[in-house]
């Protein structure tokens, strides 16, 4: 069964460093998403992406975040200068079609630890 | 103000019991999603509802648009059903379309 793949599963970084989280969405999906879950808190929407541009973004997704689809398969989330409060589980998801009426398929997540 | 509220926060059941998890939302939605988060953290989509009822195996999800309420039922619960169950409302805010998540219900099914 097709699945969304995220790498790495765990990333440890020093405060102020840049990190790139990687995702390979399901191959025929066109819409991609990043979510964040701080330990013990709700999952929060960060950004959605379609046709090589950001479709929606939340208040959390400020200038230190960026997303990119550098080739035909990968979808990346970059955090430019990590802060302690960026420590969280980051989930990538993809869906065939746009909108909130479409099932989103989630990756297993990348746990980011900022020291 | 929490736009999506789940109850209960924690639920412990004996194997075989019928389980209900509730979700209420305070905003107009286009769709309501139920998700399962495994102990390792991975998230699986269970249902997307915009009206009525859906069934998949032992799982049943219902939604009442007028009352802004959805329920997830598990029949003949099993220890492998132990997980966090999350509802997420597909909220339309102007041109924005995004999911707003509840806090989750931690379900533990004892053998």
**Is pLDDT of B96 > 60?**
no
CB contact (8 A) between residue B90 and residue A44: no
Tokens 């302690």 belong to residue: A84
pLDDT at B50: 87
**Is pLDDT of B43 > 70?**
yes
**Is pLDDT of A17 > 90?**
yes
Residue of A nearest to B51 (CA): A101
Residue A22: which pLDDT band, with cuts at 50, 70 and 90?
Answer: very high
Give the pLDDT confidence of A43-95 residue by residue, as tens digits.
Answer: 999 999 988 899 889 999 999 999 999 887 899 999 999 999 999 999 999 99
Least confident of A16-20, A90-94, B39-43, B78-82: B39-43
Q: Name the range with the highest mean pLDDT among A28-32, A93-97, B76-80.
A: B76-80
Partner-chain residue, chosen from B97, B100, B103, that has the shortest CB–CB distance to A56: B97
Q: How many other CB atoms are found less than 10 A from the CB of residue A25? A: 26
Average pLDDT over every residue of A14-43: 95
**Is pLDDT of A28 > 60?**
yes
**Is pLDDT of B1 > 60?**
no
Most B-contacting residue of A100, A106, A109 (CB-CB within 10 A), to test interface:
A100
Residue B93: which pLDDT band, with cuts at 50, 70 and 90?
Answer: low
Distance CA A51, CA B5 (A): 33
pLDDT at A72: 77
Question: In sequence order, what are the beta bridge partners of B84?
Answer: B37, B106
Residue of B nearest to A103 (CA): B48
Strands A53-57 and A110-114: unpaired
Cβ atoms A13, A114 nearer than 8 A? yes
Most A-contacting residue of B38, B48, B91, B99 (CB-CB within 10 A), to test interface:
B99
pLDDT at B2: 61
pLDDT at A71: 86
**Is pLDDT of B27 > 80?**
no
Share of chain B above pLDDT 70, in %: 93
Partner-chain residue, chosen from B97, B100, B103, that has the shortest CB–CB distance to A99: B97
């Amino acid at each position: 069964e097709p699945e969304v793949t995220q790498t790495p599963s765990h990333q440890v970084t020093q405060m102020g460093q840049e990190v790139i989280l990687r995702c390979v969405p399901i191959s025929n999906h066109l819409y991609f998403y990043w979510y964040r879950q701080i330990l013990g808190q709700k999952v929060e929407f960060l950004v959605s992406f379609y046709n090589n541009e950001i479709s929606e973004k939340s208040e959390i997704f400020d200038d230190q975040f960026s997303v990119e689809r550098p080739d035909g398969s990968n979808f990346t989330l970059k955090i430019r200068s990590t802060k302690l409060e960026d420590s969280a589980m980051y989930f990538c998801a993809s869906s065939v079609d746009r909108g909130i009426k479409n099932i989103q398929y989630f990756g297993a997540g990348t746990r980011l630890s900022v020291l | 103000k929490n736009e999506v509220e789940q109850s209960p926060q924690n639920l412990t059941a004996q194997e075989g019991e019928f389980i209900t998890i509730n979700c209420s939302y305070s905003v107009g939605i286009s769709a309501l999603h139920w998700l399962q988060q495994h102990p390792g953290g991975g998230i699986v989509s269970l249902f997307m509802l915009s009206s009525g009822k859906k069934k998949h195996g032992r799982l049943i999800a219902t939604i009442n648009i007028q009352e802004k309420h959805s329920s997830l039922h598990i029949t003949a619960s099993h220890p492998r059903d132990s997980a966090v169950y999350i509802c997420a409302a597909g909220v339309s805010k102007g041109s924005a379309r995004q999911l707003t998540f509840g806090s989750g219900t931690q379900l533990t099914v004892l053998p």
